[in-house]
Amino acid sequence: FCAEGVPVGDKAAYDAKYGADLWKEDIEQYDKVCKVEPFQRGLKTCNTDCMINGRTRWQGFERAWIDQFENAPIGGGLAKCNPIAYWTLEDTFDYIAKYEVPHHPLHAKGYPSIGDAKDTIPIPEDGSTKFVDFKFEGDKTPWLDYASERKGRFVGLENKDGSTKTECGIHVAGAEQTFDRDLWEEGKVQNIASSEEALEIIKGDKEAIVVVYAPWCQFCQGMEDEFTKYAESAGVPVYKFRGDEEREFVQEFLNTESFPTVNLIKSDGSVVKYDSEARSADDFAKFETA
């Protein structure tokens, strides 16, 4: 399982649909597109009730209180089994060595924990600590100190609130919730089915509002109700156009670098972008008549 609508391993197809710089533009959406949604889709496809994983209390304060078993949340979700919750990283490597358990080959190149290639580094950075042929080489302390295992992950990345990034999103609260429908399936928001149809609207002689969106985008999801409410009383036709499947087109013709992007199509064919983060029905109405 990988990003929705992309063949496994096809980076060009991923870049075309989601953008090569999504991780720079919106790290939370990158996590959702590349990790959380594919992972949850896999669990759903496999009819999974309980997930066995390798989280431990030793990995840091975010996981300091996990138990060996976590019941599924009330109202639906996934039960989790954490069999090594009380182990340290040293316990783990001791077990690997004792029973010669196959482990990740990058341990032999200085990586205690493996994340994305773009933001994972050896610890220490010179790669002097390694785990080779079931034994440590170099000073193992940088790996085995409390919460040090994952220091080489998410290097240089911040969450939107400015805090240091420490999680990819798979294990955070609410990750069990998937989003597997389109937006604005009912109501007055009309669908634009193709780029050709979009051009007809842009080049027509009537004003219109067009939201460029992606159904997986949390900000698009967050404005769904208010945009629906606005469309009910709008003075112009209101349209939606799925931009993640037509990235080059929406960048060229609909001012779109991220989702959602709301545009006012003027009668002369000009396209005016709504630049505010305020997304209430009243805000959209004021933009229409400004």
Give, for all 290 residues of the chain, the pLDDT tens digit: 888 888 999 999 998 888 888 888 888 888 888 888 888 788 878 888 888 988 898 877 778 888 999 887 655 567 889 999 999 999 999 999 999 999 999 999 999 988 888 889 999 999 999 999 999 999 999 999 887 877 888 887 777 777 777 777 666 555 444 455 789 999 999 999 999 999 999 999 999 999 999 887 778 888 999 999 999 999 999 999 998 778 889 999 999 988 899 999 999 999 999 999 899 999 999 999 98
Per-residue pLDDT at 180 = 57
| C-beta of residue 122 within 8 angstroms of C-beta of residue 111 | yes
Q: CA-based angle 202:205:209, to the nearest 5?
A: 50
CA distance 259 to 221: 10
Q: Which of 27, 31, 36 is nearest to 158 (CA)?
A: 27
Per-residue pLDDT at 21 = 87
| C-beta of residue 152 within 8 angstroms of C-beta of residue 113 | yes
Per-residue pLDDT at 175 = 47
CA distance 31 to 158: 12
CA distance 227 to 219: 12
Q: Residue 98 class from Cβ within 10 Å (0-12 exposed, 13-18 middle, 19+ buried)?
A: exposed
Q: Which helix (H) or strand (E) holds 118?
A: none
Per-residue pLDDT at 178 = 46
CA distance 276 to 290: 13
Per-residue pLDDT at 173 = 53
Give this prediction's pTM. 0.59
| C-beta of residue 149 within 8 angstroms of C-beta of residue 115 | no
| Spatial CB neighbours of 80, under 8 Å, sequence gap ≥ 6 | 50, 51, 52, 53, 55, 69, 70
Distances (CA, A) of 274 to 205, 257, 269, 280: 20, 13, 16, 12
